[in-house]
Structure 1
Amino acid sequence: MTTDNRSIVRQALEALIATGDVDALASSLSDDFVHHRPDATRTKADWLAAVRGALVPLAGMQVEIRHVLADGDHVVMHSRRRLPAAGPEIAVVDIWRLDDGLIAEAWEIIEPVAEATAHLTWWEGPSGAAGF
């Protein structure tokens, strides 16, 4: 089952990246799919609309999938993404939960690579003292 879940996620995302076919991605999502980010939670329709809206600005984006790990009904993917013409690079961790062969939930964390060093000491306040 773990290998199948990893394959489901990988195929859905590779097809989206290669062709921009949002409908193919939609068929991999459950009807009650929920997308979680630190700043928002979206329904299937809202998330697919956001993906469609990002296709033009992100056209030509290079995606390097570095790791795909699976444990039961969860799949974790770590990727590096860069816009064309030496645009900014981001590191992304996606966590996918599958149910009955469909992606039911997703969590996403994005970090600009250029800001990674500053984020290593996020707990230090502006004065350098622990901020928690």
Structure 2
Amino acid sequence: MARTEQEERNLKLVMAMFDHVLKPMDADAVDRYLAPDYIQHNQWVDTGTEPLKAFLRQVRGENPDAVHDIKRCFVEDDHVIVHYHVRRRSGDPGFAVIDIFRVENGLIAEHWDVVQDVPADSPNPNSPF
């Protein structure tokens, strides 16, 4: 099924946010992509853009070489889902992450995520990616 024009815009917005906010962990770029009344469901970060900016600054300070490697993304209506691999430093097995974003009026209005440790050793031969 082909994406609608709105779905394409929503996907472009979220991918641009990854490129300019999450990958470089640039708190100063948050306001270009997230609504001022942004709703956060991540249990480690309070709701709103200011707590997210503080979180990004903290994470960037602790893990300046972190990598966010996007594996796949999906869009349906006003929701965009991104599955990616976060590694904090070289040699880190990292996390498998799925982010769900809701877009409203051209900005990211809401966010949910699921984070799973990637084990160094696993009985399952299938990658989480």
* Structure 2 length-normalised TM: 0.80
User: 3-state SS of the aligned residue for 2:51?
Assistant: helix
> How many Å apart are 1:73 and its aligned residue?
0.6
Following the alignment from structure 1 to structure 2, what is the Cα–Cα distance between the partners of residues 54 and 65?
Answer: 18
User: Bigger radius of gyration, 1 or 2?
Assistant: 1
Deviations 1:60-118 (A, max 9, x none): 11221011110111000000111222023100000000101000000011110118969
Is 2:78 the partner of 1:70?
no
Unaligned runs of 5+ in 1: 119-132
**Between Structure 1 and Structure 2, how many residues are aligned?**
118
CA separation of 1:84 and 1:44: change in aligned 2, threshold 3 A = same
Deviations 1:109-128 (A, max 9, x none): 1110118969xxxxxxxxxx
User: 3-state SS of the aligned residue for 1:6?
Assistant: helix
- Contact 1:13–1:25 under 8 Å retained in 2: no
Following the alignment from structure 2 to structure 1, what is the Cα–Cα distance between the partners of residues 23 and 120?
Answer: 28
Q: 1:10-49 counterparts in 2 under 5 A?
A: 10-38=15-43, 41-49=46-54
> How many Å apart are 1:38 and its aligned residue?
4.7
* Structure 1 length-normalised TM: 0.79
Q: CA RMSD in A?
A: 2.2
The equivalent of 2:95 in structure 1 is: 90
The equivalent of 1:109 in structure 2 is: 114
The equivalent of 2:126 in structure 1 is: none
Percent of pairs identical after alignment? Answer: 25
